[in-house]
Structure 1
């Protein structure tokens, strides 16, 4: 019996439970019953049901309390409420608590059938949307990173080749580009995936405490050392230690880190003996490490030891074709966490998101989408829900590191055309004729642009 055909009927009236059970079985459903909300929760915890028909007024636990308990327990069944004392207020209250629909007693079999068929169609569409989203994410994702950019694709291939090796890797890129995600991909795509992944921001911990955090200490090593403590190198033994903002590490500690990398052993503060470790070190920085070395702020020998293999992440403004993909990804990610339905950007919002310069990179984009979901009350993310800087495009100003392309109207228009063409093809399943209609251009013009932008 398909899980989708399993129904739980919850009502304190035995005759009604029996009537619904007989009626629904004739329609091909597998039906179980419960006399109150408490019994219903017990049944839901024992097995999966696609739908629940639940009375509002019952002893022990009423319908409203049952809905709240389902939400707290994360039960995903579609709940349809029933009441002989039905009112608009009852319906609204139940909807707020998570009910899908509301039926007033007395009802006939046709009403029940219609509501269930609507609910089944809703679940089918949700499954289809989930399948399509997973298909898109699967095609353009690597670990937790989502991209269709060719340069990022090359980085994914590089990470895959490096994942099984102990080689130290230095990940470089602006703040918010996803350096820790690359480090996690190096770990979880490789043979160390079942061992610990430990991350530390070297700039977030005072220099006086950083040595103890990394290497640990023994009781009495310093004033507040009241007990032995393992350091992060020991915690990461067998796995990966990610040293974020490595350029912030004080010079005095850089010497000790170099020794650990060379000798593959650590000594806790105050300890008389050393301990062998097996740790893969991945470090990251948003600074120009060569310049740090030249100015004497970072040891050259440690830099070369950390930089056996370098990965440089491009800023989001250089992979603008990823913006729409990332927008959909973050809308799904945070929408699911917030219990929202499928939300998509309006044309105006998408245009603003694509043209914005994103000085804060992917992190800024994700924060903007999360904020927009909080303010947005419909299934359309409107321009008004986005931060003012995005709406006004104030991130378009030139940065010191730019080559001037960010001010090119031609390049901005090309990036927007690429994004809109990609979305139209995705919505039409690759049908170019239908895509051209959505884009409001001729089929010939679309073919020309596909060739011009090498979009296949």
Structure 2
């Protein structure tokens, strides 16, 4: 068991007998103690030694005690100072507390009271320090620099995030499932001026459509059957912070109209209420749908689209940044090796080769799951191909180049080429069009001509089962 560092206390008094008494008392209580006979020496020790608390006399030969308290608080705002004063000097003691002192004691000093106040002062400082450390860990966790990727596309994305995070602009994050859209949203919020405010999230696809409105706007008691108490809406909860609307394309059209009005007027009324709520949040939206198709089919209002995409961030799918796969593998390997206490040190070269050739329809999330599974089942210190999920091994053996079949018409071959390309790109029309050397409208036209239905769209369709609760994280 590691030994904890003793708490440090700096004692300042111009009477040698007093500093000696304080040193003996505090060391006996388990503190590490240093002393000073004048204020300037105490200030030097404070800067270099950084004590957890200070006990100082109010009257010193070279500096005023209250001024010394102010200096300590300027150097370290969380420093706790206990001031010792003469009898009947209450006004000066109160002034010291206003200057930032934790508390004061009158002479003659009672040992028990001093130790009690000192313990409380150090506990308060410890709580403040721990709170700051937790905040820093949270911020570090979501800094965009920690989003893994060294490929050109990811570096360009990082630069754009760095440019727009501090602004108040609405952000639209576009990318397939598993690419890390929520992680990008976290990075934007925690690197913005609103980082100290709340970050409220709602997945529009995970909540029944008739409940999204009450989640966003809130309601008054009695507004509808089941409204047994007032409920604060997510718009109001996001005051001073950011609001993430994940899967914005799944929001019902009538609700898109209401959202647009909130964004334009910056105010709204909760359901069943006459109270006007003024909103102050930054909107971040995320979607995995083909926006051009959604606009053309009327699933996404054009005026809302132009309002929410002041800045559009496209998160590339994993198959477009295969050079990041070894880096991601090393990261996930280290993560799960520590979590499961396994002695797995590396991946076999054949595994890297297989993973780089894979199409990754589930993107980074699928890769993470594959590495987690491999770490758990690996027999030795190296992950082998047989440790990977069967679906990845099968895809590798079945993946072949397009071969022109015999006795087919040109139209049939064209249909097969388009269909296979769409399947290989996980029905990403933009990427498929680039591979086929077509403009995207031409691809849509040929899909219609050959009666090619969007299988990706049916896969993204919400389940018919009703979620039991509204997930907002």
Out of 154, 157, 165, which is 1:155 matched to? Answer: 157
> For the Cα contact (< 8 Å) 1:349–1:383, is it kept in 2?
yes
How much has 1:341 moved relative to structure 2? 4.4
Q: Partner residue of 1:450?
A: none
> For the Cα contact (< 8 Å) 1:352–1:393, is it kept in 2?
no
Kindly provide the CA deviation profile for residues 168-199 of structure 1, in whole angstroms up to 9, marking residues without a partner as x: 11111111111111111111112222222222
Which segment drifts farther, 174-183 or 377-386?
A: 377-386
> For the Cα contact (< 8 Å) 2:221–2:228, is it kept in 1?
yes
Q: Partner residue of 2:275?
A: 273
SS of equivalent residue, structure 1 residue 148: coil
Distance 1:388 1:211, change over 3 A: same
Count of aligned pairs between the two proteins: 273
Out of 196, 199, 202, which is 1:200 matched to? Answer: 202
Out of 174, 181, 185, which is 1:172 matched to? Answer: 174
Out of 376, 387, 393, which is 1:385 matched to? Answer: 387
How much has 1:259 moved relative to structure 2? 1.1
Out of 330, 333, 341, which is 2:332 matched to? Answer: 330
SS of equivalent residue, structure 1 residue 146: coil
Distance 1:5 1:306, change over 3 A: closer
Distance 1:387 1:306, change over 3 A: same
1:240 aligns with 2:242: yes
Unaligned runs of 5+ in 1: 7-137, 408-456
How much has 1:406 moved relative to structure 2? 8.5
Kindly provide the CA deviation profile for residues 156-177 of structure 1, in whole angstroms up to 9, marking residues without a partner as x: 1111111111111111111111
How much has 1:143 moved relative to structure 2? 4.6
SS of equivalent residue, structure 1 residue 159: helix
TM-score normalised by structure 2 residue count = 0.54
1:398 aligns with 2:424: yes
How much has 1:389 moved relative to structure 2? 2.2
Larger Rg: 2
> For the Cα contact (< 8 Å) 1:144–1:181, is it kept in 2?
no
User: Quick one: distance in 2 between partners of 1:392 and 1:143?
Assistant: 35
Kindly provide the CA deviation profile for residues 83-142 of structure 1, in whole angstroms up to 9, marking residues without a partner as x: xxxxxxxxxxxxxxxxxxxxxxxxxxxxxxxxxxxxxxxxxxxxxxxxxxxxxxx9xx83
Distance 1:193 1:389, change over 3 A: same
How much has 1:340 moved relative to structure 2? 3.3
Matches within 5 A, 1:422-437: none
User: Quick one: distance in 2 between partners of 1:379 and 1:236?
Assistant: 47
Between 1 and 2, higher relative CO (CA 8 Å, sep ≥ 6) is seen in 2
User: Quick one: distance in 2 between partners of 1:380 and 1:4?
Assistant: 37
Unaligned runs of 5+ in 2: 6-139, 400-422, 437-473
Distance 1:287 1:5, change over 3 A: closer
User: Quick one: distance in 2 between partners of 1:388 and 1:406?
Assistant: 28
How much has 1:150 moved relative to structure 2? 1.0
Q: CA RMSD in A?
A: 2.6
> For the Cα contact (< 8 Å) 2:144–2:161, is it kept in 1?
no
Distance 1:405 1:383, change over 3 A: farther
